[in-house]
Amino acid sequence: MGLSSSKIDKALENFDQFPPNERFFGLENFGNTCYCNSVVQVLFYCLPFRQRVLQYYCEQKSLPMPTSTPNVDPVNINNNNVNSNNNTQQNYYTRNVNNNSSNTTTTTTTNNSNSSNNRTTANYNYNNIDQDTDSLILCLGELFYTIMQQKKRTGVISPKRFVERLKHENELFRSYMHQDAHEFLNFLLNSITEFLQKQQQQPNGKDVNSNNSSKKEVKTFVHEIFEGTLTNETKCLTCESVTNKDESFLDLSIDIGQNRSLTSCLSNFSSVETLSQNDKFYCDKCNSLQEAQKRMKIKQLPNTLIIHLKRFKFFEAFQQYKKLNYRVVFPFEIIVQNTTNDIVDPDKKFYLFAVVIHVGNGPNHGHYVSMIKSHGVWFIFDDDNIDIIQESDIYNCFGSSNDFIGSNDCGYLLFYQSESQ
């Protein structure tokens, strides 16, 4: 159940660990944009990411950094900066949740897009997007900045400019259909990465470095935060030579099974697969196609680990994607095992700080919400509603141990922060 902003304000008073500048704003839904809202909220409370996006935005717009940007682990509580800048931008508008309680706790796709639009157009300029210079990262930065600059601690904000830009950049997100939160996250991170790489290579519109291969080596803050490395190890079964090929990842997509733990799904991810028949491996030593054993190993873990549980599976028999409501238990703390021998920090511990949850029965129906830990307190973000929850509420989104009945609130994207961050 969502609380009105005054109620959540009151509830927040019971906790003294929040820095005075931390903000808790719901995001308005523009008709099935919960896939976007749920992920954007997680990224906002992923503090290293928030910090870097704000830094970038303020640099580009020659604005002072909000003094309020805490650069701390969300698990710990040690920030006491004071909010001083009230230079609120006009591109967004805020309102009180009290005015609208009609779409609280909705678990269907029927969000009230018409009324949202009516409410927004009054203050929003549709032609505000400069298609050449405004990028997705600038629109995201503007959204983060606007939230940080709010005088009130709680409320609702319209992410309209960001959503418009997203639709401009990718037609996939233009419809009012239900979209995949993972696909959106992937697109957003990749698009920010590519944009920053391009900008670093062509600061004056000129290609400084004509060597194409160098393009991939430009690392951005997205890499610093989310990038890890996998080693694809292939062993030829004829000559027994081993080939290692490294590939980087921004998230791990893992297969799931009924009543499996996250740890067990992760070790399955690294299990041995035999390449044979039509799927043989070309061995350089044997100079021919050979049977081989392939294994994916985690070589380097990122600072923030994103795990995507593959809950949407294509079934040949039905010729469509179906949702797997399987119960997959994920822990609050995890040491990711099954890595390569030369791993830098084998006992790196990770703490769960956010979960994007899919509610509903199918890939084309349903709703996304996120549960996020900020300064030691868990919150649920459900579009324009925010509520404080108990840590134990996370147990309700593991899925159902019965394939046909039970909860269809399922953890879908898991966000873990490393201990060292």
Q: Which residues bind Zn ion (CB under 5 A)?
A: 236, 238-239, 283, 285-286, 290
Q: Using alpha carbons, list the distances in angstroms from residue 14 to 7, 10, 303.
A: 11, 7, 31
- Integer Cα distance of 349 and 331 in angstroms: 12
Nearer to Zn ion, 126 or 282 (CB): 282
Q: Using alpha carbons, list the distances in angstroms from residue 39 to 343, 367, 396.
A: 30, 12, 19
Nearer to Zn ion, 246 or 284 (CB): 284
Per annotation, catalytic residue among 358, 367, 375, 410: 367
Nearer to Zn ion, 293 or 401 (CB): 293
Residues 380, 312 contacting (CB under 8 angstroms): no
- Integer Cα distance of 48 and 227 in angstroms: 13
Catalytic site residue 358? no
CB of 236 to Zn ion, least distance (A): 3
Catalytic site residue 182? no
CB of 235 to Zn ion, least distance (A): 9
For residue 65, the 8-state DSSP code is P
- Integer Cα distance of 15 and 401 in angstroms: 35
Nearer to Zn ion, 239 or 344 (CB): 239
Please give the helix or strand (H or E) that residue 137 lies within, else none.
Answer: helix 136-148
Nearer to Zn ion, 177 or 286 (CB): 286
What is the strand order of the sheet 273-275 is part of?
A: 242-249, 228-236, 292-300, 273-275
CB of 76 to Zn ion, least distance (A): 51
Beta strands 292-300 and 385-389 are unpaired
Using DSSP, how many helices (H) and how many strands (E) does the chain show? Answer: 9, 21
Burial class (CB in 10 A: 0-12, 13-18, 19+), 20: exposed
Provide the CA 134 distance to its chain's centre, in angstroms.
Answer: 22
Give the chain's radius of gyration (CA, Å): 23
370's tokens? 């996120």
Phi-psi region at 240: left, alpha or beta (left = phi > 0; alpha = psi -120 to 50): left
Nearer to Zn ion, 285 or 365 (CB): 285
Q: Give the active site residues.
A: 34, 367
